[in-house]
Amino acid sequence: MVRSSSLNPRSKFFLRKHRKWPVSPYNTTWHRLFNQHQALQTLKQSAPPLNQPQNLLSTLIHSFNTFNCDPTPEAYNFVIKTLTKTSQLTHIPSVLERLEFVEKFHPPELIFANLIRFYGRADRIGDAIDVFYRIPKFRCDPSAVSLNSLLLVLCGSSEGLRMVPQILLNSQAMGIRLEESSFRILITALCGIGRIGYAIEIMKCMISNGYDLHVKICSLILSSLCDQKDSAGFEVVSFMEEMKKVGFCPGMMDYSNVIRFLVKQGRGLDALNVMGKMKVEGMKPDIVCYTMVLHGVIAHGYYKNADKVFDELLVLGLVPDVYTYNVYVNGLCKQNNVGAGLKMISCMEELGCKPNLITYNILLKALCKNGELCRARELVSDMNLKGVGVNLQTHRIMLDGLLCKGDIDEACIFMDEMLDKFLCRCCSAYDDIICGLCQRGLVCKAMGLLQKMVDKNVAPGARAWEALLLSSGTGPCLVETTWTDLVNPIEVD
């Protein structure tokens, strides 16, 4: 007997739709993710040490087949990273080939960006470019991330820089839009090779593409423009003013670079004007800016401006350092106001700024130039008492002053000290002293100095030899013996 069903068709449809049939626990999402995680851990545990290469692609396939699941992007990322760390470059193409033709998932772009950077570090620019062009074949949409990685690689060498224009054109065809970071990479590279004009054009292109003006980029271009030897002062100032019109606010370092550049160019008044613009914009110049401007105006004889600048920095409460004082003292000496310069030493000491050797040498040079040798000797004694050691320049300044005054005896004393303390292989003052001694008939003393010069491996000039030969007669003497010692090579045991 066949029992007829007691359910009508509508009831059967309801049961088929709403009945919860038993589902195998091995087909759920959490189990698949668990298997993939276990397979990845197995792969990592199977990875060899850095000094033991192994075919990681086979290990990857075996690990995921064991757990009956498909490989994941994380697994391929691990394999490629391990291959790059162990420098197994020959295995990377096979991994990429399987990723392209066998796998179906969409790998993240970061995998290829890291691979491009690795090829760049390995100096394999061709492979880096090839990976960049193959990114769409891996079911991945390239963006500025991978482009920036390639640009960083190319901008690191002159060979790569020549490829950048073509790469940029091809990237547009690939649908990649340049981002602000891309412009920064290009501008930094151009500034590094001194192509400042191209860097400025790219910055203008960046602004025209809708990106905001980047302060660091402007500062970099401005600094690079100041470092260019063939840059003109008006170019630097006009560039800064042009950037200010589009929103650039120069900082203290930017103004310092411009002022330093103008001072080197011999445009002290322009540097003074730039510092004036700083104050108009509400920025207080520091002591470095004032010192540079002070040096610029003094170098070209604008002494009234120098006094105003020095008084102004004091009124503003800035504390001059020893460099500022040295510049100002040099300005006083150029005006033949050495007395005021000597007074500045006392002022410096009262304010806690100890004069250094440069300060004293500036004053010594001015005193010797004016023939005030007595005050120069007192200043040298004062230096010794205060523990300021003299250097070779100090001795040469005193030598020149003593020779101009005709004081050969004291010049000999300074020459002895120079030969004992400093290595000065060639000095015209030596010849002047020997000639002066010969003219006064002190040939023996001149011979002694000559012998000491030879012992110190200092070669006398032609004038000294001529004076000695004319003063020593025709027979063989110490001069000829000394000449032989200088000409013949010294035998070393």
What average pLDDT score do residues 91-120 get?
95
- List, in order, residues 6 or more apart from 363 with CB less than 8 Å away: 329, 333, 338, 341, 342, 345, 379
Rounded CA-CA distance 78/60 in Å is 10
Rounded CA-CA distance 189/488 in Å is 55
Tell me, what's the pLDDT at 445? 78
What average pLDDT score do residues 451-475 get?
71
Mean confidence (pLDDT) of the chain: 85
Tokens read off for 101: 């033709």
Domains defined for the chain, CATH in brackets: 391-486 (1.25.40.10)
User: Quick one: 445 exposed, middle or buried, by C-beta within 10 A (0-12, 13-18, 19+)?
Assistant: middle
The pLDDT tens digits for 163-210 are: 999 999 999 999 999 999 999 999 999 999 889 999 999 998 988 888
The pLDDT tens digits for 256-303 are: 999 999 999 999 999 999 999 999 999 999 999 999 999 999 998 999
Rg (CA), the chain: 40
Nearest in space to 270 (alpha carbons), one of 241, 293, 288: 293
Could you identify the residue written with the tokens 């960046």?
A: 206
Whether 467 and 440 have beta carbons less than 8 Å apart is answered as no
pLDDT at 446 over 90: no
What average pLDDT score do residues 134-139 get?
96
Tokens read off for 479: 């001069």
Tell me, what's the pLDDT at 401? 83
**Residue 463: helix, strand or coil by DSSP?**
helix
Residue type present at position 82: T
**Residue 23: helix, strand or coil by DSSP?**
coil
pLDDT at 40 over 60: yes
Predicted TM-score (pTM) of the model is: 0.75
Distances (CA, A) of 270 to 75, 152, 153, 267, 297: 63, 38, 41, 5, 9
Tell me, what's the pLDDT at 87? 85
pLDDT at 135 over 90: yes
Nearest in space to 428 (alpha carbons), one of 376, 387, 466, 464: 464
Distances (CA, A) of 105 to 44, 100, 138: 21, 10, 9
Rounded CA-CA distance 172/184 in Å is 18
Nearest in space to 414 (alpha carbons), one of 436, 431, 392: 392
% pLDDT > 70, the chain: 87
- List, in order, residues 6 or more apart from 346 with CB less than 8 Å away: none
Q: CA 336 from chain center: how many Å?
A: 40
Tokens read off for 381: 């004694």
Least confident of 199-203, 291-295, 349-353, 457-461: 457-461
Nearest in space to 425 (alpha carbons), one of 457, 396, 391, 455: 457
Rounded CA-CA distance 458/425 in Å is 5
pLDDT at 342 over 70: yes
Nearest in space to 150 (alpha carbons), one of 125, 180, 184: 125
The pLDDT tens digits for 224-250 are: 999 887 777 778 999 999 999 888 899
Tokens read off for 408: 């050969």
Could you identify the residue written with the tokens 């550049």?
A: 261
